[in-house]
A = this chain, B = another copy of it.
Amino acid sequence: MNSRDKTFRLAVCQMLVEKDKKNNLVKAEKLIRQAKKEFNADIIVLPEMFNCPYNHKYFHITAEKFPGETAIFLSGIALDLKTFIIGGSIPESEDGNLFNTSYTFDPKGKLIARHRKIHLFDVNIKNGISFQESKYISPGNSITVFDTGFCRIGIAICYDMRFPELIRKMALEGASLIIVPAAFNMITGPAHWHTTARARAIDNQLYFVCASPARDASSDYIVYGHSLMVDPWGQIFSEAGEDETIISGIVNPSEVERVRKELPLLKQRKPEIYI
């Protein structure tokens, strides 16, 4: 924790994503404005793939090169509301490749972070989910941790959160809050969502926040929902159900410091043994 860190209010918009990109941007604007009005949030978060369904058929037609329509929208509303906007993720195109990318804009509308999903969702669960994200999406190759004036924040996207090494690395680079736009499904969600999020918070003693789209039972890939906020002791202090909603909560960076003092896990690591 930096001595200038301060307590702030965070909101997550668990948005119901539609097929049409324009409709999604209209919806995102409505929810962001509502999050500002109802909660006076300092940082507002959107879910993974908030401008198109999580389905490869929509990735190409929705994708945009930075700064495209979605990035310009996010920048504009960040400036208008003088609020940090963590723009979930969108399909981003560059040099013929597609990425699953999250943009963060500061209250002046300036891009201050861009995370490209590193670990792609290539799974084949018997009688369950089959998905080969890497057929369509190229992986990012770097971690994303940045300053906000409130605290240092790390961004990961969905499957990234399954890799404890990545989250540890962000903690060691000073993150007090990790935000994960993520769309788990009806197999992996009930089995792993809460436990993984809580364990990342417990192990690294930081705030861990997941932002899911709302559940659409008619879509090809049915997401789990349950956006949530976990504190540095591993307690969930705000959680959505499956429907479209906004959740909000207070992030207090001094809680990170307190828990790390009581149980000094990060200092007690023995890296020489883990090699």
Contact = CB atoms under 8 A, between A and B. Distances in A.
Contacts of A235: 191
Contacts of A96: none
Interface string A223-261: 000000000011100000000000000000000001001
B195 A269 contact: no
B199 A269 contact: no
Contacts of A143: 273
A273 B234 contact: no
Contacts of A142: 273
B268 A203 contact: no
Nearest to A169: B274
A141 interface: yes
Contact of A122 (B141, B199, B268): B268
B165 A269 contact: yes
Interface stretch (A15-23, A41-49, A56-64, A123-131): A123-131
A126 to B, nearest CB: 6
A109 to B, nearest CB: 30
Nearest to A270: B118
Contacts of A192: 202, 234
A67 interface: no
Given A166-B274, A168-B165, A268 B202 contact: no
Q: 8 smallest A-B Cβ distances: which pairs? A: A199-B199, A165-B274, A164-B164, A125-B262, A195-B198, A123-B263, A192-B202, A169-B274
19 contacts: A119-B270, A120-B268, A122-B264, A124-B262, A125-B263, A126-B258, A141-B270, A142-B273, A162-B265, A163-B203, A163-B274, A165-B269, A166-B273, A169-B274, A191-B202, A191-B234, A192-B202, A199-B199, A199-B200
